[in-house]
Amino acid sequence: MPLMPSADRPPVLGSSQPDVSSLVVTLPEAVDGSSVAGTSDAQQTRGLKALHVVNGQHFAGAERVQSHLGRCLPRYCVQADFASVKPGRFADLLDRTTDPLGTGYRLPMRSRWDLSAAFKVSRLVKSVGYDLLHAHTPRTALIASLAARWSRIPWIYHVHSPAARDCERAWANRVNKFVERMSLGNCGHLITVSDSLRQEMLRQGWSESQVSLVHNGVPAIRYQRRSFPAVGRPWVLGMVALMRPRKGLEVALDALARIRDQGFDVQLRCIGPFESSAYQQTIEAFVQDLRLTDRVRFEGFADDVPRALAELDAMILPSLYGEGLPMVVLEAMAAALPVIATKVEGTPEAIRHGQEGLLADPGSADSLAEQITALVSGQHAWQQMAESACERHAEHFSDDAMARKTALVYQKVLESSRTR
């Protein structure tokens, strides 16, 4: 069966995106201001071609990283396309979007161990002429590892979260950790989204030169607010996530009940789909038990997250574990929205307690309720916190900075592969 781009979508070199084959690359500058050395003349003429091997099932944090890279990497003359091995919401987005996100390919795996996808990726690499592969999950690391070996190109692994602490199912974590470790033997380089993940990979035996920290980044989208919160008035909090147990929604609901009992009028909007209908039913029953039906709204998937954030007074993310650097935290910062989150992995690298937001202990409804109360009761200046969040995003967590640093990693890996 021939490999074809996602349905009816123009190729990446069409009118919706710069034709990198006709560009002369202006190499991105390194952090110290120097240009990247070692790029071949051919690559400088046509740019680089990177194929991201992704799950493609959801459109959560990792997929937002992928979409922003697909949109921004062409600024650095990198053509970024996507092969989805579990086609779903992200693959559908590639099909229908008018934004220049790169070409989408659907290469569905029949099971976790269906390695035929690796053969298809290898064929795709040879037919299109990709320079490297970029994988984002343990599943896709296995596919990229084999495809890179067969097609003789380097590959990069993007560590978005700790594989050993990705979900509440211990057996699934063990499988993911095993698959990830087994697949990385021929990996050219790791990108971690937070320093906490970088330190974790160094503890696993990776050298300093093999691991690059590239913080997640999002565009600077800040819609004008129609109203501002004030002490003594109702507050609207929002939780934006793929709703699953490790996100701590039960803790948030428990905290909300405690805040209600203290006499504060606080509403919660849950923005994002549930991972499963069974979990949704569990949460809805919990809301009934806590008598919170008049204070909690489930709004489902949001096509425009920044616009949804502009209607909130603060965002909460009470994750229990498994976060690298949550994209929605960065989106809230860009939108000038204070964040109340938990001290989990990379989150404190973005949010400094008392400056851009507030940090609570993971798994503690008391701690989360304490931080929410501190904000809504006026212990912290909302406007000052909001502006600080926006400024910190602009300085450290933009989508362009993420793409530039990723392009630098690509150049480094390709140069290293040529000198072996």
Whether the CB-CB separation of 196 and 175 falls below 8 Å is answered with no
The per-residue pLDDT for 320 is 93
The per-residue pLDDT for 322 is 75
Residue 186 makes CB contacts below 8 A (sequence gap 6+) with: 145, 148, 149, 155
Q: What's the rounded Cα separation, in Å, for the pair 392 and 357?
A: 11
Domains parsed from the chain with CATH numbers: 20-217+398-418 (3.40.50.2000), 235-396 (3.40.50.2000)
Report the interhelical angle of 61-72 vs 327-334 (nearest 10°): 60
For the cut 90, the answer to whether the pLDDT of residue 114 exceeds it is yes
The per-residue pLDDT for 166 is 67
| Residues of the chain above pLDDT 90, percent | 73
The per-residue pLDDT for 115 is 94
Mean pLDDT, residues 286-314 taken together: 94
Residues 257-291: tens digit of each pLDDT: 999 999 999 999 999 999 999 999 999 999 999 99
Q: Does the pTM exceed 0.75?
A: yes
The per-residue pLDDT for 19 is 30
The model's confidence at residue 310, banded by pLDDT at 50, 70 and 90, is: very high
Looking at every residue in the chain, the average pLDDT score rounds to 87
Whether the CB-CB separation of 271 and 308 falls below 8 Å is answered with yes
Question: By three-state DSSP, how is residue 192 classified?
Answer: strand
The per-residue pLDDT for 52 is 98
For the cut 70, the answer to whether the pLDDT of residue 9 exceeds it is no
For the cut 80, the answer to whether the pLDDT of residue 44 exceeds it is no
Sign of CA dihedral 200, 131, 64, 391: positive
| Residues of the chain above pLDDT 70, percent | 87
Residue bearing the bigger pLDDT, 14 or 89? 89
The per-residue pLDDT for 168 is 66
The per-residue pLDDT for 98 is 61
Q: What's the rounded Cα separation, in Å, for the pair 53 and 87?
A: 11
Q: What's the rounded Cα separation, in Å, for the pair 154 and 134?
A: 9
Residue 411 makes CB contacts below 8 A (sequence gap 6+) with: 27, 36, 38, 39, 48
Q: What's the rounded Cα separation, in Å, for the pair 105 and 417?
A: 26
How far, CA to CA in Å, does 130 sit from each of 1, 96, 124, 127, 185?
A: 20, 24, 8, 8, 21
The residue ranges of DSSP E strands in 295-371, in sequence order, are: 296-300, 314-317, 339-342, 357-360
Residue type, 56: G
Beta-strand relationship, 296-300 and 48-54: unpaired
The per-residue pLDDT for 420 is 66
Residues 183-220: tens digit of each pLDDT: 999 999 999 999 999 999 999 999 999 999 999 999 99
For the cut 50, the answer to whether the pLDDT of residue 26 exceeds it is no
The per-residue pLDDT for 37 is 37
